[in-house]
Amino acid sequence: MTEETISRGLEDVNIKWTRLTTIDGEKGILMYAGYSIEDIINSNALAEEIQYLFLYGKLPNKKELEEYRMKVEEGYNVPDFILDLIMKLPPESDAVAMQMVAYAALAAKERNFKWDKSTNRDVAAKSIGMMSTITANVFRHIMGKGPKKVEKSESYAKSFLRAVFDKEPTKDEVDAMNAALILYTDHEVPASTTAGLVAVSTLSDIYSGVTAALAALKGPLHGGAAEAAIMQFEEIGDESKVNEWFDNLLKQNKRLMGFGHRVYKTYDPRAKIFKSYAEKLIKNNKEAEKMYKIATKLEELGIKQYGSKGIYPNTDYYSGIVYMSLGFPLRNNMYTGLFALSRITGWEAHFIEYVEEQHRLIRPRAVYKGPEKREFIPIDKR
């Protein structure tokens, strides 16, 4: 075998069939089960409608949506010991690591879990509800607040924001949170989804699959990209310094965070939508407004420099500004935790699709390049 036999990073290796998400990276098209992301957002769809679409393969009618919501709301009532675990962790802990602790604990609690077509989607719906309360309490703990369970309201997004901030969110805030939940729902099989699929291919439980996915998402080259993008805006500090900062970036041959994508060779369609919500929200947050002005000026320079190479803003370029505008400070990898709140739907839908329809233990091979056969010499003769 030669070096060409290896697909580094599993690039362009297809590991499953899916009816969930399709991406045309050349044209900048993203569709969920045949519905374009632009149509979904422009139609004012609720995040829970898209959650239903991913789990059941169709959009719900009013009765089906209400029944689904009841399953999610059941999950809001996370066992007290899970919240106790979160609150006992150091408040400076990584937000995604705290989510991992919670889901690992759920895996311990549900040790007799069995995959079953008749119950898989009910378990997933409840787990999506649990993730809302878990994520809300991770943030509350970081901010020095006590535990609080999410309560039902008109929408999943509104319930989450209420629990996080202890106040009634505005319509613009709910709309932006709802859009973020939808935009990050799924993206085929990136690193986190793949990690979770490897775990559940052993028929490990769904909570362990989520834990594995969270471990992969935690890295700065995946979920942490939104944090990295906004950190560079903070480093620049003012829009008047963008040109100088960008010139230095080029001289040092460093990467422009929030630009480029393994799949997209044009402007990420999610980035366009996040940018529109950022523009709406910044009027109420001076720090976010400053970040937005820096980002838009830097975007112009980045596209001029890299656009001809198929490198454009990705979804993480503006999402951090949206989160900041909503009231989430840049702390403890929290923006990646918010990513996980959205992506759990895609993870679990892929797990169910794989286990129910295509199950096979994922067991790749490696090409050995070490020494030929050698004689082993006992330690007293070496």
**Residues annotated catalytic, as ranges:** 222, 261, 316
CA dihedral (216, 254, 30, 159) in degrees, to 10, reads 60
- How far is 179 from 49, CA to CA, in rounded Å? 12
- How far is 373 from 357, CA to CA, in rounded Å? 42
Q: Which of 238, 308, 233 is nearest to 278 (CA)?
A: 233
- Number of C-beta neighbours around residue 319 at 10 A: 30
Q: What DSSP string describes 217-233? A: HTSTTTTTHHHHHHHHH
3-state SS assignment for residue 367: coil
- How far is 348 from 369, CA to CA, in rounded Å? 37
CA distances from 34 to 19, 54, 125, 141, 180 (A): 8, 11, 22, 39, 19
As a whole number of Å, the CA-based R_g of the chain is 22
